[in-house]
Amino acid sequence: MKDHLPLHRRIAEFFRRLFAAKSRRYLCDDCKWDYGAACKRRERPNALVCPDYKRR
């Protein structure tokens, strides 16, 4: 699969993944889409990697 993210997003994503994996915290915990039926991803509520993650 081709990665369409611009470089600065890829770098940010790298550090976010690193932090998420190290701390074992789930992205969903502070994700803007973690309410009601806003997110239907299978990873929820324990996503460590998620392309739709957006900080609240």
Span near ligand SF4 by CB under 6 A; candidates 1-9, 13-21, 29-37: 29-37
Reference 51, options 8, 17, 7; nearest CA is 17
Span near ligand SF4 by CB under 6 A; candidates 7-15, 17-25, 37-45: 37-45
Determine which residue in the list 24, 34, 37, 48 makes contact with ligand SF4, applying CB under 6 A.
34
Count of residues near ligand SF4 by CB under 6 A: 13
